[in-house]
Amino acid sequence: MSLIDALGREHQRFAGVPRIVSLVPSLTELVCDLGLGDCLVGRTGFCVHPREILRGVTKVGGTKDVKLDVLRQLAPTHVIADIDENRREAVEAIMEFVPQVVVVHPRTVDDNLGLYALLGSVFGREAEAARLAGEFSAARRELAALAVALPREAVLYPIWRDPWMTVRRDTYIAAMLAAAGWDTLPDQAAVRFPEFTWDAPWLAAVARVLLPSEPYAFTARHLAEVARLAQRPVSRIDGEMVSWYGSRAIPGLRYLAGLRGQLA
């Protein structure tokens, strides 16, 4: 995992009671699962899990349109951000007035272990981080055993419509799918989230389309459209279970094991 601090500061264990703003939905959930829900003072409108804790936490805008004036008023000691989720200029502005800004960029499944360790160390939640790491490793082994027993399959994973977009293989989503034995296409692209057309030559190698629930809200009514365009089997998939890292990766790995076995 690439852990970035643009100001070159080291993230040390925080001795007091932190005031945390999370700008990443999956990291907001992880903060709560580390036992830090009472320390959350701000979140984005897309941070929705766990609902019972977040209901009373102030919203600071979206992941791409953070309201810096609202965030400043919350006087956070820590802001947690992600390279893909948040805009660089917003994070750099936040670094001007927040003592600790933790920016992460997980790209592989096992980067979750580093993420648990990092936040556990910063906030003094090493025991909770170790528990998550143990649960993650068990789920990882279960999925690996299933994936080895089944033939690998090339898949298309659309993330947007108008224009149609998918994921490159160096993304976290592609890594999660690969762990289940699903190799995303195209295998190479100039950008991490490339646009594509349904007449692209590489689509001939796609065996199945996995249609996620997010970031684009593909629903049951889109199945027929995509099946017609792809001329391949199309299966709906819970996008949170594939794209949310952190503590959600644990049920995500188990979810993929169940889905992979069902569709084999």
Which tens digits make up the pLDDT trace of 199-258? 999 999 999 999 999 999 999 899 999 999 999 999 999 999 999 999 999 999 999 999
Beta-bridged to residue 230, according to DSSP, are none
pTM: 0.93
Q: Are 57 and 40 in contact (CB under 8 A)?
A: yes
Helix (H) / strand (E) containing 223: helix 220-230
Domains of the chain: 2-128 (3.40.50.1980), 150-263 (3.40.50.1980)
- Give start and end residues of each alpha helix (H) in 77-168: 88-94, 111-122, 126-149
Band (pLDDT 50/70/90 cuts) for residue 149 is: very high
Helix, strand or coil for residue 262?
helix
Q: Are 69 and 48 in contact (CB under 8 A)?
A: no
Q: Give the rounded percent of residues in the chain with a pLDDT score beyond 90.
A: 93
Q: Give the rounded percent of residues in the chain with a pLDDT score beyond 70.
A: 95
Return d(Cα 75, Cα 155) in angstroms, integer. 45
